[in-house]
C-alpha cells in the first residue's frame, strides 16, 4: 500500500482525538521540509492545492484552535459540547488531512481520500464521545483531564509518526486506541473511588 494512504489513515485517526493538532503537525512538517509535503512556497501553485494549510495564516489558525480545544476538552461537561461540535469538525479535519497527504504522492483519488478520512476520523471521534459520556455518568467526569491529555498527546504522536513513515501511522493509531481504552477504564475507577471516599467521609461527619 502506498505510503500516502497509510499516512492518511494515521493522520485521520489522529484527527478523531484532536481536531486541529494533526493539521498543525502537517503544516509544520511541510515548512520544515521546504514544501515537500504540501508544496507551500513552491512554484506552480495549481499543482499544490493544499499548500494553504502550511501558510502563516493557516499555522496561526491551527495553533489558536488547537490551544482552545486543548483547554476546553479538560473541563467536564464542557467537553461534551466540544464533542458535539467535533461530530462535524473532526471528520472534516480527517478528510482534509487525507486529501492533502494523498495529493502529495498521488496515491489515492481525492474523493476517495475525503471519504476514507471522514470515516476513519468519524469512527475514532464516535468512540471518544461515547466513552466520554460513559465516564461522565459513571464517575462525574473526574478523570476527564487525564484521558484528555492522553488523547491529545497520542493524537500528536500518531500524526508525527504518520509523517515520518507511512506504515507507522496506522500502527501508532491502533496502539494509541488500546492505550486510551485502558485510560478510560482507569479513569472511571478513579472517579468512582473518589466519589465513594467523599461519601464515606461525609457519612462519618454525620
pLDDT digit string (tens) for 1-24? 468 899 999 999 999 999 999 999
Element (H, E) at 136: helix 110-139
What pLDDT, on a 0 to 100 scale, did the predictor assign at position 197?
59
Domain that holds residue 167: 3-205
C-alpha cell of 194? 473518589
Using an 8 Å Cβ cutoff, are 158 and 176 in contact? yes
pLDDT reading at 196 higher than 70: no
- The stretch 92-121 carries a mean pLDDT of 95
What is residue 187's predicted lDDT score, i.e. its pLDDT? Answer: 82
The torsion angles phi and psi of 37, rounded to 5 degrees, stand at -95, -50
For residue 173, what pLDDT is reported? 97
Please give the tally of structural domains in the chain: 1
115 phi, psi to nearest 5 deg: -65, -45
Residue 127 CB coordination number (10 Å): 16
What mean pLDDT comes out for the span 48-77?
93
Cβ contacts of residue 187 below 8 Å, gap of 6+? 135, 139, 142, 143, 144, 146, 147
Amino acid at each position: 500500500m502506498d505510503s500516502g494512504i497509510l499516512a492518511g489513515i494515521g493522520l485521520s485517526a489522529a484527527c478523531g482525538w484532536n481536531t486541529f493538532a494533526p493539521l498543525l503537525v502537517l503544516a509544520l512538517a511541510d515548512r520544515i521540509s521546504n514544501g515537500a509535503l504540501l508544496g507551500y512556497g513552491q512554484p506552480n501553485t495549481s499543482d499544490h492545492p493544499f499548500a494553504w494549510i502550511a501558510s502563516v495564516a493557516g499555522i496561526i489558525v491551527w495553533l489558536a484552535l488547537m490551544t482552545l480545544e486543548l483547554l476546553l476538552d479538560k473541563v467536564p461537561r464542557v467537553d461534551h459540547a466540544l464533542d458535539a461540535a467535533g461530530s462535524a469538525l473532526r471528520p472534516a479535519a480527517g478528510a482534509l488531512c487525507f486529501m492533502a497527504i494523498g495529493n502529495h504522492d498521488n496515491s489515492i483519488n481525492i474523493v476517495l481520500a475525503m471519504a476514507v478520512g471522514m470515516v476513519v476520523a468519524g469512527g475514532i471521534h464516535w468512540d471518544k464521545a461515547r466513552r466520554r459520556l460513559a465516564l461522565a455518568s459513571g464517575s462525574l467526569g473526574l478523570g476527564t483531564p487525564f484521558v484528555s491529555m492522553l488523547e491529545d498527546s497520542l493524537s500528536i504522536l500518531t500524526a508525527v509518526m504518520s509523517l515520518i513513515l507511512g506504515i507507522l501511522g496506522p500502527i501508532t493509531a491502533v496502539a494509541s486506541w488500546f492505550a486510551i481504552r485502558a485510560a478510560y477504564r482507569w479513569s472511571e475507577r478513579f472517579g468512582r473511588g473518589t466519589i465513594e471516599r467523599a461519601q464515606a467521609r461525609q457519612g462519618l461527619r454525620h
